[in-house]
Amino acid sequence: MRTALIYNFLIEANLMASIAILLMILVRKFCRQKLGSRAIYVAWVLAAVRLLCPLALPNPVIHEIRSAFAQDEAIRPIAGQIKVRFGDAVNRLYDRARSSGMEGVVEETLHDLRDDAGNGMLSINLMKIYLAGTGLVIGWYVLSNVRFQKKLKADRVGAISEQVQETYLALCREMGIKRPVSVYCVDPLPSACLAGCFNPCIALPLTARPEEMENVLRHELCHYKNGDHWWGLARLMCCALHWFNPLVWMAARMVRTDAELACDERVIAGMNQEQRQAYAGTLVMAACKRDMPGAGVLSTSMSMAGRRLKQRVVSIVSHQKAHRGMAIGFILLASVALAGAFCTAETPLIGKIPSGEMGFRSSVVAESTVKMTDEEKKAVIEQAKAFWQSEPLQANVHDKLEWSVQAFMNHVEVHAFDPEWGEALIVAFAPEGCILYMNNRRSGDREAILYNEARNMLSGENLNRVQEYALQTLEGMLPGISQEWDKLDPYGATRNNDQYFYRFFAYTGEGASEKLSHVFNVQYYPEVRLTHYENRFVLDEDTSERLEPGNG
């Protein structure tokens, strides 16, 4: 896998998710009462999806931020901008260091950094550091969970009593859980927890009081039904893949708290004030012992301490119901934002390809002379209008155009001048009626910057479709024209404002005898149409008293 693909994912995911995390911090602080903890937890899940999924959906406007200096087509616009801006910053620092006379380690470091950024070694070295960091975090997580599971297994003191088992199975039936997980008593254990991921179990402290069992089991079953053991694994994966982002670690801690708060909401939904106070007391008693294992362990926790415990107790005792409409609206808005956060790939731009064959067929033009009669000029102008209006060229031939004819020894040029635009259309006919060259200047078909950007907009199947359209159009104008060349080369693309073009070169001969024979340009967005054609083979041989193609 190319490092560019990994960088695309990491940069886009962290940029979008970091914005979401900062917004979630504000939502948690100011909107929890209105939205409820369950809606907030769902929003966290959506943020995790963005951090874990390397999906890139097409965006019709993302190409506007592609840097013209990002030469690697595999680098998408966001990553390309960061790469180019970083390179510019390093160059400026290096130039400033040299101009200020800073010699020695600083100058050498900046010089090496500039070279590494240019030749790709910097990205390779950073990727090595990233992979090493990811490996260390994953290793730490694996070690932490193995140790926790071994200790949990070693400290088991037996199964739950028959009375607790009956209560547990009744809760499972009430909550619609068809496959209950195993339940064990563990000592020492500060608080009940849902432990593990692939084969989770509920661990209960041996010191738990019988009157607490129902609420404790209901709380852990809420975690299980919500799939929190799987989302716990997703949380660890987010931290492992994006270990360099402190906001991700901060979010992981907040998610763990919000998962508990969301379960608390479910547990106390049908409780009265006295029952809620008793449930809050259970949490306080668990906190008096010690907190559960750290964030790297796949385990829920009824036990919390400090500010987080106070937040849970206040939420349980006050039990302010969330506004259902606002919660649903918030989740829908977050879902739309998630879909938009994936829209970071460029959409291959291609307009609607005209259907049908070229409608124009060139008629024989009387052998041109420098002196043409007015009738002959009118006839040639009418032929030029028919050419530009034919399917699929469909050029705008309006009444304001001023038409003129210039006759030369071996061809006739017909020009259309637009008072607002300037010279708009030009087509050259040979005496036998074939077209030597044509140019729709109103299409803006000129050499433009952003060559790589325009090229990236059209590739693969779409490029083949545009090429097939161009060949079909040329065959319609000049039957058998494609038989005159031996090789067709999709040369490259240009852009002029919002118009995109692709240029094709055709060659005759092979090796040393190879010669450029035909050139044609196709506008492929916002419309697909042939805009420029030259029969270079004929024009290069015929240099007698003619204008340069397209120069009028």
Model confidence over 32-58: pLDDT tens digits?
A: 888 888 999 999 999 999 999 999 998
To the nearest 10 degrees (0 to 180), the angle between helices 121-154 and 3-30 is: 60
H-only helix segments in 227-305: 228-241, 246-267, 273-287
d(CA 465, CA 205): 68
Confidence at residue 333, expressed as pLDDT on a 0 to 100 scale: 95
Is residue 364 pLDDT above 50, yes or no?
no
- Binning pLDDT at 50, 70 and 90, where does residue 3 land? confident
Is residue 155 pLDDT above 80, yes or no?
yes
Phi, psi of 519 (to 5 degrees): -135, 130
**DSSP state letters, 126-191:** HHHHHHHHHHHHHHHHHHHHHHHHHHHHHTEEEEPPHHHHHHHHHHHHHHT-SSPPEEEEESS-SS
d(CA 433, CA 448): 33
Give the domain ranges of the chain: 374-541
Is omega for the bond preceding 526 within 30 degrees of 0, making it cis?
yes
d(CA 355, CA 528): 11
* 470 contacts: CB under 8 Å, gap ≥ 6: 504, 520, 522, 530
- 372 three-class SS: coil
Confidence at residue 319, expressed as pLDDT on a 0 to 100 scale: 66
More confident residue, 103 or 229: 229
Through-space distance between the first and last CA atoms of the chain, rounded to whole angstroms: 51
Q: What is the mean pLDDT of residues 149-175?
A: 87
DSSP code, position 494? E
Q: What is the pTM of this model?
A: 0.71
Which residues are bridge partners to 403 per DSSP?
Answer: 416
The string of pLDDT tens digits covering residues 62-94 is 877 877 666 666 788 888 888 888 888 888 887
The string of pLDDT tens digits covering residues 471-525 is 888 887 788 888 888 888 888 888 777 788 888 899 998 887 888 888 888 888 8
